[in-house]
């Protein structure tokens, strides 16, 4: 079997049948489609079963809800194809999407394929087409000088989908199941540390639905685990350092984001968790030499508290700041 398609499914009944019909009618046919029903309660699991009953290429795994990273790991563990690609259950693919990716990776012999994609609205119309800056096979080292700028601009290196790779490449790599956001970028950072060549497919056969229901992209700031995001960016820095590309614009962008996430931990952490998160952040900053920079007064003050191990001062500052903000907004949380 040439290809394993892994689709995590959690409460996507609104989109799922349309996507699975698009997969079922692909011009390339030698694949298995692994549907990982992650404890859905909206009938998505039944839709998966219907497709599996009519098409032997579809295999369904009903598992207790454990998050998208666990679901993808279940798929990776079960995959039997020579190559692997991921599709999200609320997105779409054009009829020749799989054929083009597979042709790209087989003809080039590359370690990884990255293709373009379309951002689409809920009514189906295209909002934007995002394409790699070049096409064809390149050494990954050629992409590194512009890596951080490209990732910041397009996000293309972090998305789980619109990529294909040999299954053997990830035999010892899995998603971090403790991550709830940017877990896909963290996964691919492991690949970017070891890949030699990349085939950039100059087409946009993947259709990424913006603002889908249950999308992690809609997560409110106060619900984001910024300490986890900081650790991902430490992994990002480690990858660039390993590839001898942590310099110039790459360094400027990553260090700026490391500093941002350190500030976001101090700014957004709920007060009952403040002391614990403050201490965790302090140890991370000391161990990994995280830059603490910024010009705004509140940011400078919180970083001063962090450098001087004054969690009580930082916590009291945020308590007063949030109280003032509530009063300014008529008692409502913002």
Question: For residue 133, what pLDDT is reported?
Answer: 86
Question: For residue 212, what pLDDT is reported?
Answer: 61
Q: What residues have CB less than 8 Å from 61, skipping those under 6 apart?
A: 34, 35, 36, 37, 74, 75, 78
Q: How many helices (H) and strands (E) would you count in the chain? A: 12, 10
Q: Which residues pair with 8 in a beta bridge?
A: 36
For 82-111, what is each residue's pLDDT tens digit? 999 999 999 999 999 999 999 999 999 999
For 245-300, what is each residue's pLDDT tens digit? 999 999 999 999 999 999 999 999 999 999 999 999 999 999 999 999 999 999 99
Mean of the pLDDT values across residues 187-199? 97
How far apart CA 230 and CA 176 sit, in angstroms, is 14
Question: For residue 333, what pLDDT is reported?
Answer: 60
Q: What residues have CB less than 8 Å from 26, skipping those under 6 apart?
A: 93, 95, 96, 97, 98, 99
Question: For residue 331, what pLDDT is reported?
Answer: 64
How many CB atoms sit inside 10 A of residue 248's CB?
12
Question: For residue 213, what pLDDT is reported?
Answer: 58
For 131-163, what is each residue's pLDDT tens digit? 988 899 999 999 999 999 999 999 999 999 999
State yes or no: pLDDT of 307 exceeds 70.
Answer: yes
Radius of gyration for the chain, computed over Cα atoms and rounded to the nearest angstrom: 22
- Share of the chain residues as helix, strand and coil, in percent rounded to the nearest 5: 50, 20, 30
CB 65 within 8 A of CB 10: yes
**Would you call 41 exposed, middle or buried from its count of C-beta atoms within 10 A (0-12, 13-18, 19+)?**
exposed
Q: Which residues pair with 4 in a beta bridge?
A: 32, 84
Residue with tokens 């009063």: 327
CB 110 within 8 A of CB 104: yes
Residue with tokens 């997560």: 219
Name the residue ranges covered by the structural domains of the chain: 3-218, 221-328
Grade residue 217 by pLDDT with cuts at 50, 70 and 90: low
State yes or no: pLDDT of 214 exceeds 60.
Answer: no
| Angle, CA of 138, 189 and 71, to the nearest 5° | 120
Mean of the pLDDT values across residues 184-212? 94
Distance (Å) of CA 54 to CA 20, 24, 59, 192: 12, 10, 11, 38
State yes or no: pLDDT of 244 exceeds 90.
Answer: yes
How far apart CA 304 and CA 296 sit, in angstroms, is 12
Question: For residue 281, what pLDDT is reported?
Answer: 97
Distance (Å) of CA 64 to CA 10, 60, 89, 97, 213: 10, 13, 17, 31, 20
* Mean pLDDT of the residues in the chain: 94
For 38-55, what is each residue's pLDDT tens digit? 999 999 999 999 999 999
State yes or no: pLDDT of 315 exceeds 90.
Answer: yes
Question: For residue 85, what pLDDT is reported?
Answer: 98
CB 231 within 8 A of CB 137: no
DSSP assignment letter at 206:
E
Question: For residue 266, what pLDDT is reported?
Answer: 97
Question: For residue 164, what pLDDT is reported?
Answer: 98
pTM of the model: 0.93
Distance (Å) of CA 176 to CA 70, 77, 231: 8, 14, 12
How far apart CA 81 and CA 6 sit, in angstroms, is 11
Question: For residue 40, what pLDDT is reported?
Answer: 97
Fold of 3-218: Spore Coat Polysaccharide Biosynthesis Protein SpsA; Chain A (3.90.550)
Q: At what angle do helices 248-268 and 274-288 cross, to 10 degrees?
A: 160
Sign, CA dihedral 237-164-162-50, equals negative
Question: For residue 329, what pLDDT is reported?
Answer: 81
């Amino acid at each position: 079997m040439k290809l394993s398609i892994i689709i995590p499914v959690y409460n996507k009944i609104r989109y799922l049948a349309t996507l699975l019909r698009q997969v079922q009618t692909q011009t390339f046919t030698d694949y298995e489609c692994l549907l990982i029903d992650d404890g859905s309660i909206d009938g998505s699991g039944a839709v998966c079963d219907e497709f599996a009953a009519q098409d032997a290429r579809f295999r369904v795994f009903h598992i207790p809800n454990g998050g998208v990273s666990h679901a993808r790991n279940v798929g990776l563990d079960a995959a039997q194809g020579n190559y692997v690609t991921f599709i999200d259950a609320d997105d779409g693919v054009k009829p020749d999407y799989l054929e083009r990716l597979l042709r790209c990776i087989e003809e080039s012999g590359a370690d990884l394929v990255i293709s373009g994609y379309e951002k689409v609205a809920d009514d189906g119309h295209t909002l934007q087409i995002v394409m790699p800056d070049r096409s064809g096979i390149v050494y990954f080292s050629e992409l590194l000088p512009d890596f951080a700028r490209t990732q910041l601009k397009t996000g293309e290196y972090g998305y789980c989908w619109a990529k294909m790779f040999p299954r053997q490449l990830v035999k010892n790599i899995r998603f971090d199941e403790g991550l709830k956001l940017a877990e896909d970028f963290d996964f691919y950072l492991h690949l970017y540390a070891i890949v030699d060549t990349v085939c950039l497919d100059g087409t946009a056969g993947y259709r990424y639905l913006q603002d889908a229901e249950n999308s992690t992209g809609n997560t409110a700031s106060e619900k984001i685990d910024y300490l986890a995001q900081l650790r991902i960016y430490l992994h990002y820095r480690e990858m660039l350092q390993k590839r001898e590309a942590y310099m110039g614009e790459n360094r400027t962008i990553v260090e700026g984001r490391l500093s941002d996430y350190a500030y976001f931990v101090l700014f957004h952490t709920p007060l009952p968790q403040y002391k614990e998160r403050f201490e965790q952040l302090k140890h991370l900053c000391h161990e990994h030499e995280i830059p603490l920079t910024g010009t705004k007064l509140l940011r400078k003050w919180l970083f001063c508290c962090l450098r001087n191990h004054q969690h009580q001062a930082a916590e009291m500052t945020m308590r007063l700041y949030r109280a003032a903000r509530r009063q300014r907004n008529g008692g409502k949380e913002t």
